[in-house]
Amino acid sequence: MDLNRMGLDRKDRAHCGAPLHIPWIHPITRAVNTLAPGTITLAIGATSIADLESLWYTERRLMSPLIAQVSKALHVPPKQLIRQGVLSYVEREIRLAGEDISDLREKYLANSPKDLTRRIKSKTVASHPAWEDVIVWENLEAHLRTLRKTLQKLG
């Protein structure tokens, strides 16, 4: 499991709030933000692939060389490369959030955050760190819902 993706552990990601702000094509975003802070705000909440393509054309002078290189190397048109990259990223995040939730289910032998809360109140489970994990679990579920909605919009 990749708990340290983007430099955040499970608790940090959960406490950032849900849905989390997740950069699109992370290394490129960092490079662009370094060159021109605030010019790109990329989040999972894009309304369509057209929004992402529009952003790509807006920032093409910065991204175009890399996209063109990868597109040429893989023999894939740039629009298809961007679309597949975004879809793959969202699918990966869904899988990772699901793994985190599965870990919590296994750790506490609970089926949901409500079930874990009930177990804490009945003193079946020690309250610390279980209460924090309830918050983490709830945020992970909210994040997962957002990711699934995004996948539906993009797919």
Residue 103, pLDDT above cutoff 60: yes
Q: Which residue has the higher pLDDT, 12 or 97?
A: 97
Residue 98, pLDDT above cutoff 90: yes
Residue 82 is predicted with a pLDDT of 87
Instruction: Of 119, 151, 117, give the one whose Cα is nearest residue 134.
Output: 117
Q: Which two tokens stand for residue 18?
A: 């849900």
Residue 155 is predicted with a pLDDT of 76
Residue 95 is predicted with a pLDDT of 97
Residue 153, pLDDT above cutoff 60: yes
Tell me the domain boundaries of the chain.
19-154
pTM of structure: 0.61
Q: Which of 54-63, 80-89, 129-138 has the lowest mean pLDDT?
A: 54-63
DSSP string, 15-82: HT-SSPP--SSHHHHHHHHHHSTTS----TT-S-HHHHHHHHHHTHHHHHHHHHHHHHHHT--HHHHH
- Computed over every residue of the chain, the mean pLDDT equals 74
Residue 22, pLDDT above cutoff 80: no
pLDDT tens digits, one per residue of 34-77: 333 333 334 444 556 666 666 656 655 556 788 888 989 999 99
